[in-house]
Chain A
Amino acid sequence: MAVGVQIPENARIIRNLLHGAQVQHDHIVHFYHLHALDWVDIVSALSADPKKTAALADNVSEAPWGGVSYYKSVQDRIKTFVDSGQLGPFANAYWGHSAYKLPPEANLMATAHYIEALRLQAKAARMHAIFGGKNPHPQSLVVGGITSVRDLSPDRIAEFLYITRETQDFIKKVYIPDLLAVASFYKDWGGIGGTTNFLAYGEFPETSAEPDSLYMPRGLVVNRNVGGVRPVDQTQVTEDVTHAWYEKGDAKHPYKGETKPIQENPEYRPGSGQYTWLKAPRYEDLSCEVGPLARVLVAYGKGHKDIKPLVDSTLQKLDVPVQALFSTLGRTAARGLETIAVGDRIETWMGELLANLKNGDTKTYEPWEMPDSGEGYGLNDVPRGSLGHWIRIEDGKIGNYQYVVPSTWNLGPRDTKGVLGPMEEALIGTPVADPKQPLEILRTVHSFDPCIACAVHVIDPDSNEVYKIKAL
C-alpha cells in the first residue's frame, strides 16, 4: 500500500492458503500442546480402563483410530514412560490438583490425541513448505506478491489439498469433539476469565476490496455489545508506554511511534511503575482483546453465514448462554470453531486458484518501485489476533516502521489512566484453590495463546505470602 502496488489475484489466494494453513496448524498445536494439560491430567490417565475409554471415544469422537487395544497401547506407552522414572517435560506439574475434573477415561482419550496431534502438526506444517519453502518462517512472501510461481503445479496443489483435508478431518473428528467433551466438564469456566472490548482487523480478503471482502470480518465490539459491531479506523490506534520499559512519552499513533528501550537494566515495578517490555495498545483509549474470540464475536455479531450457526449450535450443545462466550472457555471454544470455518474455506480458495490457472492466469507478482516518500499500513488477523504494520518512507528508505502485534494487545500493561490490559482484566476474580499450585491462573493465561514468557505473582492476602508462577 505504501508503495502503491496491488498484488495479483493468485498472490492474494496463495497468501490466504498459507494463512489458512497457519490457522489450522496453530490452533491444533495451541489446544493440544500449549493448553490441554491445563484441563487434562495425564497421571489420571494411567488409572483409566481402556475398555471404557474406547467406549467413551466411540461415543464422543469420530477419531479414525481407537478401540480397546489402541487405548491399551497408549496407556502402556505412558506407563513405560512413567516407570522409567524420567518424567521429562511432564515432571512436577499440578497432577492430581482438585481443579482437574475429567474422569480417567477422558484423560486417557485426550492424552492419546495429544500424541496424535504432535504428529499431525508436523504434517500440517508441510502446507507452508509447499508454497512458502519451509515452516517455520516461510519465505515466499514479497512486496508485490509471492515468489513460489513454480509451485502452482498440479502435483503441489494436490499435495496441499491432501494435507489440508487430512488436517481438517482431524479438526472435525478429533479436535472439536475433544474440545466439546472437555468443555462439558468445565462449564463453570464459561463465567471466568472474560474481558470487555474486542477488536478484529479481519482476514482473508476474497477480492481486492478490503475490508468488505474479508472472510473473517473487521470490526470492534465495545462493552460486550455484540449486536452493535462498529467499523474499525486504524487512525484510532495508539500505544502508551507509561508502564513499559521505554523512554517516557505520550501515547502515539504507530506512524509516529517510537521504540526506545530504557538504557539501563529494567526493574520490575508493578502497580504505578514500569513492569513489562510490552507497550499498551489502545483503540480510542479502549483496552481490547484480540484473537479468535474477538474474531468470532465480530463475525457472530455481523451474522456471518458460517460462524453464526457454528456458535449457536455449540452453545446449544453445551447448554450455556451467549454470555458464556465472554470467558476463558469461550476463548478456547472460539479458537476451535474458527478453525472449522477457515479450514473449510481453504477449499473455496483453492477452487479459485485452479479456475485462474485453467484460464491461463499464472500471474503472481506485480512490479513496484520504492517511492521517495510515503506512508502505508497493513492490517490483518493472524492466529493469535490482530496484527498491524505501519511504515513511513523517507528519502526512498524506511523512515519509521512500527508493528503492533496480538500479544501486545492481549498482554500489554496498564495505560496512563490506569486501565488494565485485557489479560490483567481477565485474571481478576479467578478462583485459586491452592496458591502454591495456581492451575486456574494458567488456564486463563494460556487461553490467550500468549507469544511471550510471562511471570504471574500470586499474593495471598491473608498471609501476604508471594508465589511466583511462570506461565509459559
Chain B
Amino acid sequence: MEKEKEFYERLNAKGVSRRDFMKYCTFLTATMGLSSSFVPKVAEVFAAPKQRPPVVWLHLGECTGCSESTLRSMYPWIDELVLEILSIEYHETIMTASGDQAEENLHNAIKKYDGKFICVVEGAIPLKYPGYGRVAGKDFIDIAKEVVPHAAATIAIGSCANFGGIPAAAPNPGGYTGLGEALGMEGKIVNIAGCPPNPINLVGTIVNYLLLGKLPALDDLGRPLFAYAKTIHDSCPRRSHFENDEMVEEFGSEEAALGYCLYKVGCRGPETYNNCAVAKFNDGTSWPVEAGHPCIGCSEPQFWDNMTPFYEEL
C-alpha cells in the first residue's frame, strides 16, 4: 500500500492524476482483450517494481521507425518507460555509450540477466550474404543467435523483424528474412506487426508478459490476438459505406470528402489484420483510413510484394 501511495504521489508530481492513470490502464487492458478485473493488476505492473525488467533491444536491417514509434508512447510516457518501468540495457539509438563500451553493455546484460531479460528485435536478417548487415564486425545472424537464446521472451517488432519487410522486398539481394524464420523459432517469438507498429501493441505485449508471466496468445503468424485478430475491414468505421456500395473512385472527389469506402482506390483492409481502426495512432489522433488513405497492408507478410501496386483494387 505504501508503495502504491508513493507511486501515485510521484505520478501526481508529474501532472498525471490517479484517474488518468487508471483510465490508461483500462484502455490498455481493453486493448489487450482482458476483462476489467485485470485493471488494478495492469496498474500494479507499472507501480515501480524493485528491479525493473531488463530489456535488450537489437537493431538489425531496419530504418529505426519502430523505435521512433515507441518513442511516441504517451501512456506511459517514454521517460517513464525508460526511467521507472523498464531497464533498457541496450538500445543503439537511445543509449549513451558507444563503441567498446556499448558492446560491453550488451554482453554484461546477457550475462547478468541470463534467461531473465526481454529481447526486442527490430529489423531483418540477411541469410544469403550474412555480411550485408553487421554491428561491431559481427553478422546480424550471429548477433541474433548469440542473444535471443538467453532471453526470457523475444519480441520481434515491425514488418522487417517479423517477415523481412522492405529489405526482403523483391529482388531481395541480401536474402533477408524475419527473425523467427532466420532462427527457426516461428511461433516462439511474438511478432508485433506493422510498419511501424502502434506502440500500444508493444506495451500491451510486455504488460501481458509481466502480468501473467507469459506471452499473449498468438495467431498462426505469431501476432498477438489481442491486437491482430480482426481485419481492418471488419473494424473499419467506413464499413457501412462498403456495404452500401458507396465508394471513393478517385482521391479528391466528392466521395472522398464524404468519407466513403476506399476499397476501389486500393484499400488492403479486407486482407490485413490489425487494430489500427480501434487503437489509432499518436494518442488516438488518427489512422491512415481516417486520413483518407487506403490501408497498405503493412502488418501482413511480404506486403511490399503482395500488397502492391497499392492504389489498385484488390
Which residue numbers of A lie inside 8 Å of B, CB to CB?
8, 29, 33-34, 37, 42, 73, 77, 81, 84, 86, 88-94, 115, 118-119, 121-123, 125-126, 128-140, 142, 144-151, 261, 263-268, 362-367, 436, 438, 442, 453, 455-456, 467-472
Contacts and interface: CB of A to CB of B under 8 A. Distances in A.
A126 B291 contact: no
Given A122-B73, A470-B102, A470-B135, A140 B257 contact: no
B279 to A, nearest CB: 11
B252 A366 contact: yes
Interface stretch (B23-31, B126-134, B222-230): B126-134
Contact of B100 (A81, A115, A144, A468): A468
A122 B252 contact: no
Interface string B83-95: 1101111011111
Contacts of B256: 147, 149-150, 365
Nearest to A446: B98
Contacts of B97: 91-93
B146 interface: no
Contacts, number: 208
24 contacts: A77-B83, A88-B83, A88-B89, A90-B95, A94-B96, A118-B71, A119-B79, A122-B71, A133-B288, A134-B287, A136-B68, A140-B288, A140-B292, A140-B293, A149-B292, A150-B259, A263-B129, A265-B131, A363-B252, A470-B92, A470-B102, A471-B99, A472-B92, A472-B98
Contact of B104 (A84, A92, A261): A92
B95 A470 contact: no
A139 B78 contact: no
Given A91-B95, A142-B293, A468-B99, 15 more contacts: A88-B52, A91-B89, A91-B105, A121-B71, A125-B72, A125-B282, A130-B285, A133-B289, A134-B282, A261-B173, A364-B251, A467-B100, A470-B92, A472-B98, A472-B102
B291 A133 contact: yes
A142 B288 CA distance: 12
Contact of B281 (A133, A142, A145, A366): A133
Given A261-B132, A467-B100, A468-B99, A88 B173 contact: no
B282 A126 contact: yes
A367 B252 contact: yes
Given A88-B87, A91-B105, A122-B78, A139 B252 contact: no
B33 interface: no
B104 to A, nearest CB: 6
B245 interface: no
Given A118-B79, A261-B132, A365-B252, A90 B96 contact: yes
Contact of B195 (A119, A137, A470): A137
A122 B74 contact: yes
B244 to A, nearest CB: 18
B92 to A, nearest CB: 4
A75 to B, nearest CB: 13
B314 interface: no
Contacts of A133: 281, 286-291, 293
B87 to A, nearest CB: 4
A36 B159 CA distance: 31
**In the complex, the 6 A-B pairs of residues with the closest C-beta atoms, listed nearest first:** A365-B252, A265-B131, A133-B291, A469-B99, A147-B292, A134-B281
B51 interface: yes
Q: Interface range on chain B: under 10, 10 to 19, 20 to 34, or 35 or more?
A: 35 or more
Contact of B282 (A81, A128, A151): A128
Interface in B154-188: 173-174
Given A126-B282, A140-B291, A149-B252, A86 B136 contact: no
B235 interface: no
A118 B92 CA distance: 17
Contacts of B196: 136-137
Nearest to B113: A86
Contacts of A139: 288, 291, 293, 296
Given A129-B281, A137-B196, A470-B136, A362 B95 contact: no
Contacts of A8: 252
Contacts of A442: 98
A132 B84 CA distance: 32
Of B71, B91, B105, B251, the most chain A CB neighbours within 10 A belong to B251
Nearest to B282: A129
B209 to A, nearest CB: 18
B249 to A, nearest CB: 11
Nearest to B109: A91
B251 A129 contact: no
A73 B21 CA distance: 20
A367 B251 CA distance: 8
A367 B256 CA distance: 13
Given A88-B88, A367-B250, A130 B286 contact: yes
Contacts of A90: 95-96
B99 A265 contact: no
Contacts of A86: 51-52, 54, 87, 89
Given A73-B13, A442-B98, A147 B174 contact: no
B77 interface: yes
A177 B13 CA distance: 25
A339 B287 CA distance: 27
B101 interface: yes
A470 B104 CA distance: 12
Contacts of B296: 139
Of A131, A133, A367, A469, the most chain B CB neighbours within 10 A belong to A133
A321 to B, nearest CB: 32
Interface in B52-85: 52, 54, 59, 65, 68-69, 71-74, 77-79, 82-84
B283 interface: yes
Interface string B192-217: 00011000000000000000000000
B105 A362 contact: no
Nearest to A86: B87
Contact of A261 (B13, B174, B252, B290): B174
Nearest to A121: B71
Contacts of A121: 71-72
A126 B131 contact: no
A42 to B, nearest CB: 8
Contacts of B95: 89-91, 93, 472
Nearest to B95: A89
